[in-house]
Structure 1
Amino acid sequence: MKSARRRSREFAVQGLYQWLLSGTDASAIVAQLQSAPGFGKADREHFDTLLQGVIRDAKALDTQLTPCIDRPSAELSPIEHAVLLIGAYELMHHIEIPYRVVINEAVEVTKTFGGTDGYKYVNGVLDKLAAQLRAVEIQPASR
């Protein structure tokens, strides 16, 4: 059974996918997703934080991701790009979520929506980003 947090990330990916492709306003995306099956079981607060935060901070998040990716973000698949933006946002703004959980959730969501091996790419990119953003958290684990 999926956790409310996992559902919130999945719906945020769907919303960001739509936003990346069409530039649709966040409130229109939320209005549309609210009627989707299973939305009521999502962590609504986390969904709102992710969708609004990623859209607001997209340029800064892409700047953080750029050294960790092997091509311009515009060339990423929209699903992988959305998942990476969410992962970067959680690594930067949700220190209470352990970096391993952020990466694992991103991998699982990518397995659900992304291409065959997309999750491996997402894992590698977020691993590099976590090493930069969460060095203090990662250091003790690697001793």
Structure 2
Amino acid sequence: MTQANGLNPSARRKARRFALQGLYEWQLSGNPSYEIEARYRVENAMHKVDLDYFHELLSRIPTLTETLDALFEPFLDRAFETLDPVELATLRIGTYELKHRLDVPYRVVINEGIELAKTFGASESHKYINGVLDQLAATLRPHERD
């Protein structure tokens, strides 16, 4: 089902899932994100994916990691280096969306982060993602939270 603004939430969700997997690979392998994206497009059924959003996340986030990490790091309750790669990729996607995609409501950003963590993360990581993104949303989008 398509929303009035022409965006399909399911297609966006799939774009985030593939972007998370691509960012995970990028973080661990160091392969260029454009190579990862090209391979994902060839090896996966992408006809129901918001490809523009997938491209945006996978191409922009690697160029902004220092900025994104600095935004959410104050809300971590443990050392940055101890984040597992799934948590890190999920936080980077959520932080990117909170900062650069004001068209995505903060509640949607948080919910999508939780769902990514439930699907790909450790058993309780969704609670951690929720806490960090919620605090970050209060800072980046206080007007929405009121």
Superposition pairs of residues 121-136 of structure 1, within 5 angstroms: 121-136=128-143
Percent of residue pairs bearing the same amino acid type = 47
Residue matched to 2:52: 45
In the alignment, which residue of structure 2 is the partner of 1:87?
94
SS of the aligned residue for 1:39 comes to: coil
Deviation string, structure 1 residues 38-89 (Cα, Å, up to 9, x no partner): 3221100011111111111011000001101122333201011101000000
Distance 1:123 1:36 in 2: 31
Give the structure 2 partner of residue 29 of structure 1. 36
| Mapped contact 1:34–1:40 kept (Cα < 8 A) | no
C-alpha contact (below 8 Å) 2:76/2:132 kept by paired residues: yes
| Over 6 Å off, 4+ runs | none
Deviation at 1:19, TM superposition (A): 0.9
Report how many aligned residue pairs link the two structures.
139
Runs of 5+ unmatched residues, structure 1: none
Q: Residue 101 in 1 paired to residue 111 in 2?
A: no
Q: Give the letter for the 1:82 counterpart.
A: A
The equivalent residue for 2:74 is 67
Gaps of 5+ in 2: 2-8
Query: What corresponds to 1:77 in structure 2?
Result: 84
Residue 40 of structure 1 aligns to which amino acid in structure 2? H
